[in-house]
Amino acid sequence: MQTYTLLREFADSWVLLAMFSAFVFVILWILRPGSRKIHRDASAIPLRDDYECVDEVAAYKSDKESSSHGKISE
């Protein structure tokens, strides 16, 4: 039972700290400056070979951008 207690103490302190540090590192890596292009490219992977869908999305984005530029904010 001493081994279990020792491992339990180790997991409660240092492994928890290591896991939290890894979590913070991943969040900072995802939100780092300049990563928007990488994430946008990765999000389009499922649609790369579906040209009809890609055209529809591009048309929707261009319509959305053109309508948002013409709006007058109140």
Q: What pLDDT, in 10s, does the model give residues 1-48?
A: 799 888 888 888 888 899 999 999 999 998 998 888 888 888 888 877
Number of domains composing the chain: 2
Is the per-residue pLDDT at 71 higher than 60?
Answer: no
In a shared domain, residues 1 and 27: yes
Same domain? For 7 and 18 the reply is: yes
- Determine the distance from the C-alpha atom of residue 66 to the mean position of all C-alpha atoms in its chain, rounded to a whole number: 27
**Considering the entire predicted model, what is its pTM?**
0.49
**Rounded Cα distance, 4 and 13, in Å:** 14
pLDDT score recorded for residue 69: 55
Residue 23: is it exposed, middle or buried by C-beta count within 10 angstroms (0-12/13-18/19+)? exposed
Are 2 and 28 found together in one domain? Answer: yes
Domain that holds residue 51: 35-67
At 50 the pLDDT is: 66
Cβ–Cβ under 8 Å, residues 54 and 47: yes
Same domain, 3 and 26: yes
Residue 48 lies in a domain: yes
Instruction: Write down the pLDDT at residue 74.
Output: 45
Per the listing, tokens 């055209």 go with 55
pLDDT score recorded for residue 49: 74
Distance CA 40, CA 50 (A): 17
Residue 73 counted as domain residue: no
Domain-embedded: residue 18? yes
